Structure 1
Amino acid sequence: MFILGTAGHIDHGKTALIYALTSIDTDRLPEEKERGMTIDLGFAWMKLPSGEKIGIVDVPGHENLIKNMIAGATGIDAVILVIDANEGWMPQTEEHFQIIDLLNIKYGIIALTKVDLVDQNRLKVVEKEIQERLKNTNFFNAPLIKVSAVKNIGIEQIKSAIQNLIAKIKPKRDIGKPRISIDRVFKVKGSGTVITGTLIGGTIHTGMEVIIFPSYRKTRIRNLQSYKEKVESAFPGSRVALNLVGIEKSELHRGDIVFGTKQIRASKNIDVQIQLLPQVKKYSLINRSEVFFFSGTKEILAKVILDEKKYLQDGETGFGQLRFKESIATYLGDRFILRIPSPSKTIGGGLIIDPLAPKHNLKDKAIINFLQTRIKLDLRELILTELNKIIFIKKDNLLANSNYADPEIREMVELLIKEGKIMATNYWLIEKNYWEEQIKKFMHQLNHEYELFPLQTGFPLNKFQSYFYYLKPEIFNHLIEVLTNTKNIASEKGIIFLPSSKPKISPEQKILISKILKIIKDNPLNPPDEKKLNSQIAESKEIIDFLIQEGEIIKLNEGILLENKNYDMMKNKLIDFLKINGSISISQVRDLLGISRKYIIPLLNKMDQEKITQRKENNRILILKNKDK
């Protein structure tokens, strides 16, 4: 589906030409009828000789209604530039043409209207004037057709020219991201709220759930029309009217956007390339000045932050950041227009390079390099620079606000992963340099732990999770997996360690080890607890942890410490007793082992934890699977 738009000075015959082409009067408002001029956007459609249906947007020509013209020009594929044969190229012709150029509309037809009211000499003068103005533009070779809507001169030639033009234009792409920038909202009796706009980015259908931005209201398409015909589906490039369920007219406004159900992301800052128009009167765009920003059908005030320049002169191009007081939803690669309020005029426009930019100044060369790399909208570079900016992102969210389809993005991502340019988990993508930094940081931290605790052979995994708290759990787990697979580290039962690590015991520590082991061995029936040992022997905690780690001693509840051999002896006595008697009480344990209740309960709890015994009322029984041990 293709959409054409008109452009040109007030009263040059845009609406009359559309009526001659389509038999549709696009002046729908009573005020427009009364004043004889188009105030708001009008819409019409026609069938070409080939049978293909196209839409036509009629825009107002008055200088005070330029914002309506911009709203209409957004989303069109080609333009019919309408010029009165008597008046020639006028101020609003110029401004409309500049807007067409800024929106990167490359295809068009020149309609020289009201030719029945001028002589041949005047026609030649105006034609020459038009050709001179179009020199070095995309429209220099555009067909120029002499027209009289009143006398039906040139109408068939216009239709043929449109047919030829459409054959050259690539259809709007279906990238699976439908969006409609609302240009009209009204209510239909018996049906409810209806919005109209140009559909781009994807297909919509009756019954489809959609989301309204900026309210994030979810609604559903009850009925769908395209060119006043009820349809089940509509495709990119169509003019559509959507009857929405459960939403009031007062909740919607021109400039709001209807999205498909894919996540909508928005920002108060966007990075852009700005192109200032050459002005008859010199003009400079000063850093931090405020301008009106137009994108789609949205009009909003923006503050301009420029790069190292304090201003841009007319005719210049440069990078900038536009800051808004409210979040806006734009796409990478979208075009925009800038206007100033006083005197009211279009000063330029440009290209959105980062629709989700962080707030920053543009004096940093790295930021300028980032923008320069993205300016060509090359998918490979966009992915790499996006990851460079945000470090890691869920795969499904990568370049969500772009004019690329998800399958295109996934295909390029897979290629970059194979090339080793980016890292990936099941759901996350990670910037390569950042990933390598995390590996270095992890190994540095592990070695540092060994320096702090030379007696340790390994460290709890959750300790490192706390150091790398900023990583998503899946990314952290992938980090451990990669380091383990490459044999940089080893992992066992929640403990990570260096495969080659061995405890480094100093002579002083060897003396402490002997002291602690002697105290524990000398008191088999009245073993010390950890707290008591720490008070008796300075700096004993690390030694105790080391002896537990090495299996020399066993730590029971309440911090009670047993020599490993002593624990095995007690455990085996209890197992032998249970094999014969089936169960054992606390008093029987006391008689069997000669220890007090203070030690009996922690000992039995330890055996319960090891799945050797199980508590049954006030006794312990041997768990069946351990009876043969």
Structure 2
Amino acid sequence: MHVVATAGHVDHGKSALVRALTGTEPDRLAEERRRGLSIQLGYAWTSLPGAGDVAFVDVPGHERFVTTMLAGVGPVPAVLFVVAADDPWMPQAAEHLAALDALHVRHAVVAVSRSDLADPGPAVAQVGAELERTSLRGSPVVPVSSLTGAGLGDLRTRLVDMVGGVPPADPHADVRLWVDRRFTISGAGTVVTGTLPAGTIAVGDRLSTGAGTGTVRVRGVQTLGRTVESVSGVARVALNLSGQVDDVGRAGSLTTPGAHRWTDVVDVRVTGEMARLPLRPMLHVGALSMATGCRPLAGDLVRLTLERPLPLRVGDRALLRDPGSRQVWGLQVLDPVPPPLLRRGAADDRARALRSASGAPDLVAEVRRRELVDVDTLRQIGVPDSSRSGDVIRAGRWLMSPARAELAAEQVRRTLTDHDRDRPLDRGLPSRCWPTGSDCRPPTSSPRWCASRSGSWVAA
């Protein structure tokens, strides 16, 4: 399956175009149909030759529903951007485009709708110029009419080409489902929906609802209106849940138990005009939005303090938004579990440590920056244990940088030398951890492990 989100100004024909492509009405609420205005996320799907099933997430275009729009496009890798031929370039089109650019969305098709009402040429030229300054540059622009059907064939062809260029998702990846709807069905119980970007969810699976605070059991799975035993991303899914369902709020998250580090402090790199970044911007990640505290480190590096923990990983992209000015900033997560800033100058030191971070998971760079870290932590923040070079020292589940290993070795040698000098009749390190005096064993039988000053065991 492929999932495509719509974007564009209010009343530019997004829902009408989805209806023309799928034969299904994406607006579910009577109020939406009465006003001709999308308020909540809508869903429809069809099958396109050469692409298979394609699900559309139809987002509202009104400025009052930007948060809902971002919940729709956040987890989706591809976009159908809609601009009307009989309207000028409008503010919400600009804001939606800025958000997509900040999220680094690169797979898009632009439909110039209502081409039966006006010459689409000026709109095609305008949108091409606007796209040129963003990550969507080079996206095909197709004039269409939902009323007459003109251009729909070309649009379908372009959509097939676009979704074919989206990298395939890993069905074996850890699950992280951002919940965009939650409701109750009589006789079934709690149901949630969302876009599954990767991984597989099956009937009987247990998913975490937070930082180890609760789990739910998957009683049933639906996708594209069909009941299935399992579904793999990318896919639109509906899950019937049992268990601690009270922990599953709208715009929450369901994850593979133990596979993510839930964090409320994160270091990020921000793109945009840093001088105008507010101290309390709104964070939009996945289908979630929340207020967050913003502490500049240096340059484009920022520390965010979140209202509640989130399962973030290295490389995740998200948005910061100022609701007043409607300005958006893109961000990329560099470190989901950063060290505390406890002393004067710590922010500058932290910025220097992060300056060379690319945002791509890199085991060697991560171990070098942290000096000593366990593989479980790295896996939870999205850094695979892939290096087999001498740039990483391994002992059991612990990884250490060569520089830190050499420092540890020097500390051990100094400790042994001092001990033997002070106690010439009791040479060698005693069998009890120094200085705590508690009995312990090294984590491996390797003779390269000795006690550290903290009472833990470090590589010598």
TM-score over 0.5 for the pair: yes
* Structure-2 change in CA distance of 1:200 and 1:131 (3 Å): closer
User: Do residues 443 (structure 1) and 413 (structure 2) align?
Assistant: yes
1:467 to 432, 435, 442: 435
* Structure-2 change in CA distance of 1:471 and 1:67 (3 Å): farther
1:330 to 309, 312, 330: 312
Deviations, residues 264-319 of structure 1 (Å, cap 9, x unaligned):
312221111111269xxxx6225xx111111011111111111235xxxxxxxx11
What is the Cα-based RMSD across aligned positions, in Å?
A: 2.5
Deviations, residues 94-150 of structure 1 (Å, cap 9, x unaligned):
0000111111110111111111122x3xx3222222222222444343222111112
Q: Given that residues 214 and 247 in structure 2 are in contact (C-alpha distance below 8 angstroms), is that contact kept between their aligned partners in structure 1?
A: no
User: Do residues 274 (structure 1) and 270 (structure 2) align?
Assistant: yes
Deviations, residues 9-54 of structure 1 (Å, cap 9, x unaligned):
0000000100000111111123212322011111111100226101
User: Do residues 178 (structure 1) and 144 (structure 2) align?
Assistant: no
Identify the residue that residue 78 of structure 1 maps to in structure 2.
78
Q: CA–CA distance in 1 between the matches of 2:93 and 2:195?
A: 24
Unaligned runs of 5+ in 1: 310-317, 485-629
* Structure-2 change in CA distance of 1:459 and 1:37 (3 Å): closer
Identify the residue that residue 482 of structure 1 maps to in structure 2.
448
Q: CA–CA distance in 1 between the matches of 2:5 and 2:428?
A: 71
Name which structure has the greater RCO, CA cutoff 8 Å, separation 6+. Answer: 2
Q: CA–CA distance in 2 between the matches of 1:277 and 1:230?
A: 47
* Structure-2 change in CA distance of 1:341 and 1:139 (3 Å): closer
SS at match of 2:330: strand
* Structure-2 change in CA distance of 1:386 and 1:150 (3 Å): same
TM-score between both structures, scaled by the size of structure 1:
0.67
Letter in 2 for 1:63: E
Q: CA–CA distance in 1 between the matches of 2:259 and 2:141?
A: 45
Identify the residue that residue 145 of structure 1 maps to in structure 2.
142
Identify the residue that residue 151 of structure 2 maps to in structure 1.
154
Identify the residue that residue 197 of structure 2 maps to in structure 1.
200
* Structure-2 change in CA distance of 1:216 and 1:474 (3 Å): same
Q: Percent identity?
A: 26
User: Do residues 296 (structure 1) and 286 (structure 2) align?
Assistant: yes
* Structure-2 change in CA distance of 1:308 and 1:263 (3 Å): closer
Q: CA–CA distance in 2 between the matches of 1:338 and 1:459?
A: 54
C-alpha deviation, 1:459, in angstroms: 5.1
SS at match of 1:466: coil
Q: Given that residues 214 and 256 in structure 1 are in contact (C-alpha distance below 8 angstroms), is that contact kept between their aligned partners in structure 2?
A: no
1:373 to 335, 356, 360: 356
1:349 to 316, 323, 330: 330
Letter in 1 for 2:364: L
SS at match of 1:105: coil
Letter in 2 for 1:474: P
* Structure-2 change in CA distance of 1:127 and 1:458 (3 Å): closer
1:256 to 240, 247, 252: 252
251-260 or 424-433: which moved more? 424-433
User: Do residues 452 (structure 1) and 422 (structure 2) align?
Assistant: yes
Q: CA–CA distance in 2 between the matches of 1:459 and 1:140?
A: 65
User: Do residues 55 (structure 1) and 55 (structure 2) align?
Assistant: yes
* Structure-2 change in CA distance of 1:469 and 1:81 (3 Å): farther
Q: CA–CA distance in 2 between the matches of 1:132 and 1:145?
A: 15
SS at match of 1:71: helix
Identify the residue that residue 277 of structure 2 maps to in structure 1.
285
Q: Given that residues 32 and 38 in structure 1 are in contact (C-alpha distance below 8 angstroms), is that contact kept between their aligned partners in structure 2?
A: yes
- The number of residue pairs the alignment matches comes to 448
Identify the residue that residue 411 of structure 1 maps to in structure 2.
386
* Structure-2 change in CA distance of 1:111 and 1:355 (3 Å): same
Q: CA–CA distance in 1 between the matches of 2:439 and 2:381?
A: 24
Q: Given that residues 208 and 254 in structure 2 are in contact (C-alpha distance below 8 angstroms), is that contact kept between their aligned partners in structure 1?
A: yes
1:235 to 232, 235, 246: 232
Larger relative strand fraction? 2
Letter in 1 for 2:448: V
Q: Given that residues 108 and 162 in structure 2 are in contact (C-alpha distance below 8 angstroms), is that contact kept between their aligned partners in structure 1?
A: yes
Q: CA–CA distance in 1 between the matches of 2:347 and 2:15?
A: 50
Letter in 2 for 1:296: G
Letter in 2 for 1:56: F
Q: Given that residues 99 and 328 in structure 2 are in contact (C-alpha distance below 8 angstroms), is that contact kept between their aligned partners in structure 1?
A: no
* Structure-2 change in CA distance of 1:166 and 1:431 (3 Å): same
* Structure-2 change in CA distance of 1:451 and 1:106 (3 Å): same
Identify the residue that residue 133 of structure 1 maps to in structure 2.
130
Q: Given that residues 383 and 399 in structure 1 are in contact (C-alpha distance below 8 angstroms), is that contact kept between their aligned partners in structure 2?
A: no
Q: Given that residues 259 and 379 in structure 2 are in contact (C-alpha distance below 8 angstroms), is that contact kept between their aligned partners in structure 1?
A: no
Deviations, residues 147-203 of structure 1 (Å, cap 9, x unaligned):
111222222221111112222221123452111000000111111111100112311
Identify the residue that residue 502 of structure 1 maps to in structure 2.
none
Deviations, residues 372-420 of structure 1 (Å, cap 9, x unaligned):
332151x4xx323433444433333323222x5xxxx2332xx13xx2x
Would you identify which runs of 4 or more consecutive aligned residues in structure 1 move more than 4 Å?
Answer: 361-366, 468-473
Unaligned runs of 5+ in 2: 451-460
